[in-house]
Amino acid sequence: MAKPFYITTAIHYVNDVPHIGHMYENIAADVIARHHRRMGDDVFFLTGTDEHGQKVERSAAKEGILPIELADRVVAEHHRLWKTLNISNDDFIRTTEGRHRVGVYELIKRIQERIPDDIYLGSHSGWYCQSEETFIPDNQVKDKKDESGHPVEQTTETNYFFKLSRYTEPLLRHYRENPGFVYPQTRLNEVVSFVEQGLRDLSISRTAVKWGIPFPGNPDHVIYVWMDALTNYISALGFGDGNHPRFDHYWPADIHLVGKDIVRFHAVYWPAFLMSAGLPLPKRVVGHGWWLRDNQKISKSLGNVVRPHNIIDEFGADPFRYFVMRDMVFGQDQNYSDEAFITRYNGDPATGLGTALSRSLKMSENYFGGRTPPTPCDDNVLKTAAEQVVPEYLQAMDDLAFHRALETTWRLVAAVDQYIQSRQPFSHFKNHGADETLSRMIWNCLEALRIAFVMVSPVMPSIAREGLSRIGADADAIGVDELKWGRLSNNATLRGGDSLFPNIDAEKYLEKKMDEITPPVETTQAAPPDVAKISIDQFMQTELRVAEVRSAERVPKSKKLIRMMVFTGDGERQIVAGIGTKYTPEELVGRKVIIVANLQPATLMGVESNGMILAASIDGEPTLLSVDPNVPAGTKVK
């Protein structure tokens, strides 16, 4: 019988629509799920949304709507995005669902029945972080901020507590006996040293928050959002439903995949709750790294959110999936920019797969009438190359080293390229015609490519399907057995088509998008025209200033972009503007311009721009707004 494999992502807060961090997490979980499916495992892949708590309550209040209305709207965005990104989750849990509440109550009931004093009513004073919705130990508070820089305040509350202190030793023992419980090792070390300091009891109810699950037997309290949220992993399996075959089958989870910031909740609180309730612990908590922007974590609270919808809409889900899996070394942090995406996409051997495919298809068309050649071959350098890379690749997938798995795949693609160069099928055809040697040669190329497509299928499922069907293979044949040499049929019909990885014109794309490299996604419905006007307060948020261009030069390899140092009264800053088709750098120096001074920095063709120069656009051609030369640099414009 197939082995059950249960993988979950964190459930994402619905106070905002998903950003690249959430996308990455779901893509990584999807790659793992697809890999295990093709290994023959019985996979259950869960994702969902965390809908209770103060953050959601406040975001909804700000908009003047009910929390559930906000949640419904954001959840719709989740569903749309996961579909676009081809996320193959088997279920989607919302913490506002009845089945979830049943699971939470069952967990609390089991704790209360098994170890009655594990939950008690008590009062507690300490540093409370509203952003994280948790009390922060004194030694982690500096200048009224927690370790992540969120503000904390002294708070006293009478709450239900969970006797977490009782689990210090059992948890340490569990980490010792199961060193793979937290992955990677650095995250385990952090968890162990946190627990070694001794655990304090955890407040598990709130009275200040109304938007939550009422505490059983005391509806003045709602259940602490983390206790509520963590239980999703079992409530989605029907835990608490009396008869729960799914829970019996899939629990304990094989992997909880979460960002490194919330490993502690999953590796300390969650196993302690489960121990107390007498339930098995998950097998592994895996912490991935953060997507950063200018070396800072991307997050709503920092206001530097990246949602690369442009990239996905324009180039498709698979290239984006490929990029995030290839660019980030699993477990480590990585900076995001649209430019990094394009550079990697254009420069990467991924495109080599497309090129090798079109060359091999062309040869099959020219020499073998658009069919796979008639003679297979069981002894050749490509077979040897495939047999070398496949075990390394499988190991890398098991190690969650996706970037290495992809690199390994490109070694096989490079081998195809070298093979064509050294065997010269073109001259062979000229000299000998479509003989058996040529048949073997081309078949070998197609067979190696078939294996390469199977290898990339968890990361680029649509491109893999397309590639396989073009070479006459079954698009669904992506099981692990398909990584063996010799499966491609002879005389199967081939199919041509557009390039699998069309080259991106980086300059054109980045310049077109220069003002909106990562635009936010609006989930609110478009306002009717008469209320689409902005208030004077909104306008005043834009800081317009007069600036003087002190120096200017063209950005290398760009026709449009000019890099300028402009003086703003109290200092100089660098601005990049797409005005190079109209102005020369020389005529800009000394000129006064109007700039938007409080824009977040953006990187254009590798050069940072700190602001934007105002220009009128006539059929896309920019004309700078002129300023009376007597107005000093730095003067505010309104």
Q: Which residues bind ligand ME8 (CB under 6 A)?
A: 10-13, 21-22, 24-25, 50, 229-230, 258-259, 261-262, 290-291, 297-299
CB-nearer residue toward ligand ME8: 298 or 602: 298
Q: Identify whether the C-beta of residue 127 lies closer than 8 Å to the C-beta of residue 154.
A: yes
Q: Identify whether the C-beta of residue 284 lies closer than 8 Å to the C-beta of residue 183.
A: yes
CB of 140 to ligand ME8, least distance (A): 18
Query: Which string of DSSP letters, residue by residue, matches 243-258?
Result: S-HHHHHHPSPSEEEE
CB-nearer residue toward ligand ME8: 17 or 350: 17
Q: Is 611 left (phi over 0), alpha (psi -120 to 50) or beta?
A: left
Alpha helices (runs of H) in 148-299, residue ranges in sequence order = 168-177, 185-196, 225-230, 232-235, 245-250, 263-264, 270-277
CB of 387 to ligand ME8, least distance (A): 36
CB of 475 to ligand ME8, least distance (A): 32
Query: Which string of DSSP letters, residue by residue, matches 543-554?
Result: -EEEEEEEEEEE
CB of 464 to ligand ME8, least distance (A): 25
Cα–Cα distance, 150 to 157 (Å, whole number):
20
Return the SS3 of 636: strand
Alpha helices (runs of H) in 533-613, residue ranges in sequence order = 536-540, 585-588
CB of 22 to ligand ME8, least distance (A): 5
Neighbours of 21 (CB within 10 A): 22
CB-nearer residue toward ligand ME8: 262 or 589: 262
Q: What is the CA radius of gyration of the chain?
A: 29
Cα–Cα distance, 4 to 10 (Å, whole number):
20
Write the secondary structure of 299-357 as one string of H (helix), E (strand) and C (coil).
CCCCCCCCCCHHHHHHHCHHHHHHHHHHHCCCCCCEECCHHHHHHHHHHCCHHHHHHHH
Strand partners, 604: 607
Return the ∠ at Cα 555 (arms to 554 and 559), rounded to 5°. Answer: 75
CB of 37 to ligand ME8, least distance (A): 23
Both tokens assigned to 455: 């290898």
CB of 105 to ligand ME8, least distance (A): 17
Both tokens assigned to 276: 């107390």
CB of 414 to ligand ME8, least distance (A): 31
Cα–Cα distance, 638 to 631 (Å, whole number):
14
CB of 291 to ligand ME8, least distance (A): 4
608 burial (CB, 10 Å; 0-12 / 13-18 / 19+) is middle
CB-nearer residue toward ligand ME8: 225 or 547: 225
CB-nearer residue toward ligand ME8: 12 or 246: 12
CB-nearer residue toward ligand ME8: 48 or 578: 48
Give which of 513, 503, 504 is closest to 560, Cα–Cα: 513
Query: Looking at this protein, which amino acid is placed at residue 347?
Result: G
Cα 522 to Cα 17, 371, 602: the distances in Å are: 9, 48, 20
Query: Closest CB to ligand ME8 belongs to which residue?
Result: 259
Both tokens assigned to 186: 């650095």
CB-nearer residue toward ligand ME8: 198 or 601: 601
CB-nearer residue toward ligand ME8: 227 or 588: 227
CB-nearer residue toward ligand ME8: 11 or 108: 11
CB of 605 to ligand ME8, least distance (A): 24
Return the SS3 of 47: strand
CB of 302 to ligand ME8, least distance (A): 9
CB-nearer residue toward ligand ME8: 285 or 564: 285
CB-nearer residue toward ligand ME8: 289 or 319: 289
Cα–Cα distance, 391 to 412 (Å, whole number):
12
CB-nearer residue toward ligand ME8: 86 or 131: 131
CA 532, distance to chain mean position in Å, is 32
CB of 581 to ligand ME8, least distance (A): 37
Cα–Cα distance, 89 to 7 (Å, whole number):
9
